[in-house]
């Protein structure tokens, strides 16, 4: 298990990508990123070496529900039934309960990245059986970092930025490096955790 050190708390509050408030504009950016990556290298964006067709992974209940309500269920969604440490409202809960596809459950205590979360993210990132919803018992706040590493270039990770909007992180080799460097600063066996995702 990796634990978030106090020294990283402020740094991780900074968004890793552009913030959107309009779900349609965000979804257009997701599609543009996938298409431009596919045009540059036909081996990425639509299928990685394991065969996944995932383009969009969301972290957070409100973000996931917002995009689903806009007509696009994420290929992979990581949710915990809470927003800003409070239970989600009934409308969000209803949208999330209607998500199609497989449901996986993991335990992930607050301010940590558990081995079960890493394993499940990797499984979801390499499957062709999409969509997948990962329900977290605990907290999913840090799941974006390992998700970035688990996914191939051309995919997108979207997470919520409290009181600002939705952060779109286009997955590229450069953001893989950033995520790897940030995870390496966590407390715990970071080498083993990173190797589970590469």
Known binding-site residue numbers? 61-63, 80, 140, 163
CA dist., res. 117 & res. 107, Å (int): 7
For 21, other C-beta atoms within 10 Å of its C-beta total: 10
Q: What are phi and psi of 120, to 5 degrees?
A: -70, -40
- Whole-number Å distance between alpha carbons of 91 and 186: 35
Q: Which residues of 109-139 are buried (b: 16+ CB within 10 A; e: fewer)?
A: eebbbbbbbbebbbbbbbbeebbbbbbbebb
Binding residues for GTP: 61-63, 80, 140, 163
């Amino acid at each position: 298990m990796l634990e978030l050190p106090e020294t990283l708390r402020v740094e991780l509050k900074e968004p890793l990508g552009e913030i959107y408030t309009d779900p349609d504009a965000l979804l257009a950016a997701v599609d543009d990123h996938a298409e431009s990556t596919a045009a540059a290298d036909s081996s990425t964006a639509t299928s990685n070496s394991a065969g996944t067709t995932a383009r969009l992974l969301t972290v957070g209940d409100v973000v996931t529900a917002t995009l689903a309500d806009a007509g696009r269920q994420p290929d992979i969604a990581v949710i915990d039934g809470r927003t800003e440490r409070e239970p989600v409202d009934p409308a969000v809960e209803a949208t999330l309960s209607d998500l199609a596809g497989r449901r996986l459950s993991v335990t992930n205590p607050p301010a940590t990245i558990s081995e079960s979360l890493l394993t499940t993210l990797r499984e979801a990132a390499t499957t062709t059986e999409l969509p997948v919803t990962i329900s977290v018992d605990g907290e999913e706040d840090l799941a974006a970092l390992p998700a970035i590493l688990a996914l191939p270039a051309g995919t997108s990770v979207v997470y919520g930025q409290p009181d600002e909007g939705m952060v779109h992180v286009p997955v590229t080799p450069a953001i893989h490096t950033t995520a790897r460097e940030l995870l390496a600063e966590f407390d715990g066996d970071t080498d083993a955790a990173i190797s589970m995702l590469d």
